[in-house]
């Protein structure tokens, strides 16, 4: 099999922005939370977890006063 990678291969704008924001926040604060996994890329999620990113399934799991990032795909709003 011959696999070719495009010269500009990478994340879409939203994922790229979310990952950069997470890295910046982790560098500044040491820990931050994401409502759901920040991206569908398990390697990136694991790398960010090693730096202090925590993942919550719901807002109830996030400690009061914590910094929360909304994942690249957004999150559902319950009314």
Give residue-wise pLDDT tens across range 46-77. Answer: 999 999 999 998 888 999 999 999 877 777 66
The predicted-structure confidence for 12-44, as pLDDT tens digits, reads as follows: 888 889 999 999 999 999 999 998 888 889 999
3-state secondary structure of 29: helix
Domain span including residue 64: 20-70
Positive or negative, the CA dihedral 52, 18, 66, 64 is negative
pLDDT score recorded for residue 31: 96
In a domain, 36, yes or no: yes
- The CATH number of residue 47's host domain is 3.40.50.11270
Decide if 70 contacts 38 (C-beta within 8 A). no
In a domain, 15, yes or no: no
pLDDT score recorded for residue 78: 58
In a domain, 5, yes or no: no
Whole-prediction pTM value? Answer: 0.79
In a domain, 46, yes or no: yes
In a domain, 45, yes or no: yes
Structural domains in the chain (count): 1
In a domain, 33, yes or no: yes
pLDDT score recorded for residue 7: 83
50 secondary structure, DSSP code: H
């Amino acid at each position: 099999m011959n696999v070719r990678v495009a010269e500009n291969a990478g994340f879409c704008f939203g994922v790229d922005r979310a990952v950069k924001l997470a890295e910046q926040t982790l560098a500044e604060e040491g820990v931050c939370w994401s409502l759901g996994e920040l991206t569908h890329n398990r390697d990136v999620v694991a790398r960010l977890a090693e730096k202090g990113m925590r993942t919550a399934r719901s807002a109830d799991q996030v400690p009061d006063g914590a910094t929360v990032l909304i994942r690249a795909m957004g999150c559902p709003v319950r009314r």
